[in-house]
Amino acid sequence: MENKDQKIKDNKPEYNLGDVVIMKKPHPCGCDRWKIIRVGMDYKLKCLKCDRLIMLPYRKFIKGVKRRVTSE
Ligand SMILES: [Zn+2]
């Protein structure tokens, strides 16, 4: 019998499409908020201020992300 509660207890940070996150390193434009526009092996982020796109491997993203911001 599968226990679904077990999976919920697994306290992994989950980041989904459309989430806005704060990265440890701000963009050179001064903005540290990014919107996730692609998830998977690579995460694609869009700078909320200047709309520039960056692509990060999942591991780098997890290392660099500070926290999730509630979407506005
Ligand atoms: Zn920027």
Distance between CA 57 and CA 36 in Å, rounded?
13
Question: How remote is the CA of residue 45 from the centroid of ligand 1, in Å?
Answer: 10
pLDDT of residue 14: 82
Question: How remote is the CA of residue 35 from the centroid of ligand 1, in Å?
Answer: 11
Q: Give the rounded percent of residues in the chain with a pLDDT score beyond 70.
A: 79
Question: How remote is the CA of residue 31 from the centroid of ligand 1, in Å?
Answer: 6
Residues paired with 45 in a beta bridge: 36, 54
Domains in the chain (CATH in brackets) are: 4-70 (2.30.30)
Q: Can you say how many angstroms the Cα of residue 69 is from the centroid of all Cα atoms in its chain?
A: 10
How large is the average pLDDT for residues 33-52? 96
Distance between CA 69 and CA 21 in Å, rounded?
5
Report pTM: 0.78
pLDDT at residue 55 is higher than 60: yes
Residues paired with 34 in a beta bridge: 21, 47
pLDDT of residue 63: 95
pLDDT at residue 7 is higher than 60: no
